[in-house]
Structure 1
């Protein structure tokens, strides 16, 4: 069983990170966000299943447990005799995953509740705040929150671009992909950068939608630049620090890339084939998890005959 642990827990998650780096800006952002987020979620789930299976093996090799179920603890233990630490390490890692994912889900819930507290039933909420902030709050219906500080920095055309960007987040239900990728990152630390890249792809997808809506890629680029300059160095709100997809601009390096891609649009050759790479890795990870489950069942059946 140890080879399944190695592939699903130790090898495939870093591999998908490398694939995502390879695919950066080589796919249409909306489709890439979906492919990467779902692939990361599947890889994280497969890794967690492997940890669960090894944790069950750790329990199965405890003599008291083996006595209750009528199998040989020695036979179960012998399967990983060369790696006796692996089952018990899996118990600790599984516990860490449960705690991490639970905390992430609670954080997402609290951030969403905080954003919704600003709503008044209208599609656009303008808050009297000198700090420049703008974000979309998903829901039924969702709405856009903009502070007076942000509004005063933008021309009418730039403000239209900002609203189109945030409306794209709502229409595309981008918060679901952000939550999916964030949960995957909580389940496996190697997927942290992958989740950040999903945030970036969602921002790029909203940029492209806004450019079509306002009819000017340059106007959207200027709006992004103005928003980024206004928010750089400013203290983040709880919503902003917790859920980057709520913001029109994510600082620290990616804004120049977004502006550059708006001003120099690309074509996407072989996009369909490239998007299959993360999906193939995810499928590969699932296969290893299924085989690990089969191996555990066969091991317990063999131990029951001793």
Structure 2
């Protein structure tokens, strides 16, 4: 069973992160965001499932448990006797992953609840009387777009339309789900942290491209993003999440000022296949545990 732990918990998440670095810029940003986010989620889920399998093994190899269920605890223990630390480590890692994912999911719910309360009953586009220059999308039914008066003062009417189109693109594509899925994958497995950060960048790029199509000018959207970033400062990003921070904004502007590129769809199969492989190995890990317990039952 140890090979399942090595692949699904150690190797596959690292390979997915490497694959994302290699292929993310070769795909259209919207397509890349989906492939990367769901591949990360599947990889993290497979890793947690393997940790759960080894946690069950850690319990099954206790003599008291073997006595209750009528199997040989020694036989169960012998399967990973050469790496006795793996079952115990799996218990600790699983507990940490479950706690981190739970805390992150609850935080996402609280943030969305506060944002929806702020915009409850308002128009689809809400202008808040606030000197702080901000613009963001609030998912919901219907979703709403919030722009402060501080942001409106820094933009021309055309640029404001571009910012609103950008935020509307987030709502239409459900980008908040991809960001949430990627973030929970990252807290479940630290090796996927960069992947989650890049999903944030990709959804901003996807919204930029959709806004450019909606307003009919890539240059207008580029100027709007640049002006908004200068207004907010480098510590606050324009968009759904923190992907607008730091050096990401110049990259987004530069991409908009270049002619649009068509990404090759075949590249997205790399992280998808890696994620699929670890899911297959997880099924095998479950089957191996069942076989081990059956063997232990015969040995009792």
TM-score range, shorter-chain basis? over 0.9
Residue of structure 1 equivalent to 2:221 = 220
Task: Give yes or no for contact 2:27–2:267 (8 Å, CA) kept in 1.
Answer: yes
CA distance 1:249–1:38, change in 2 (3 Å): closer
Range 102-111 or range 224-233, more displaced: 224-233
1:94-131 CA distances to partner (integer Å, 9 max, x unpaired)?
A: 00011000000011001101211221421111111111
CA distance in 1, matches of 2:39, 2:285: 20
1:114 partnered with 2:114 = yes
Kept in 2: contact 1:13–1:43 (CA 8 A): yes
- 1:298 equivalent among 263, 268, 291: 291
CA-to-aligned-CA distance 1:26-80 (integer Å, 9 cap, x gap): 1001111111111111101100000000000000000001110001111000000
Equivalent pair of 1:30/1:202 in contact (CA under 8 Å):
yes
**Residues of 2 paired with 1:49 and 1:217: CA distance?**
44
Mapping for residues 1-306 of structure 1, pairs under 5 Å: 1-119=1-119, 120-233=121-234, 246-247=240-241, 250-268=244-262, 271-306=264-299
Q: Distance in 1 between matches of 2:44 and 2:8?
A: 9
Counterpart CA distance in 1 for 2:181 and 2:53 is: 23
Change (3 A) 1:184 1:279: same
Residues 1:179 and 1:24: Cα distance change in structure 2 (over 3 Å): same
Structure 1 runs of 4+ with >3 Å offset: none
CA distance in 2, matches of 1:63, 1:14: 36
Distance in 2 of aligned mates of 1:6 and 1:97 = 17
CA contact (8 A) 1:42 1:286 kept: yes
Gaps of 5+ in 2: none
Shift of 1:299: 0.5
Q: Which whole-Å CA distance do the structure 1 matches of 2:243 and 2:57 have between them?
A: 47
**Per-residue deviation, 1:248:** 9.2
| TM superposition score normalised by structure 2 | 0.96
Q: Distance in 1 between matches of 2:191 and 2:260?
A: 29
Deviation of the 1:268 alpha carbon = 2.7
- The question of whether the paired residues in 1 share the 8 Å contact of 2:200 and 2:241 is answered with no
Cα distance change of structure 1 residues 70 and 247 upon mapping to structure 2, 3 Å threshold: closer
**CA gap 1:200/1:225 in 2 versus in 1, 3 angstroms:** same
1:146 is paired with a residue of what secondary structure? Answer: strand
Helix, strand or coil for the counterpart of 2:147? strand
CA distance in 2, matches of 1:249, 1:284: 29
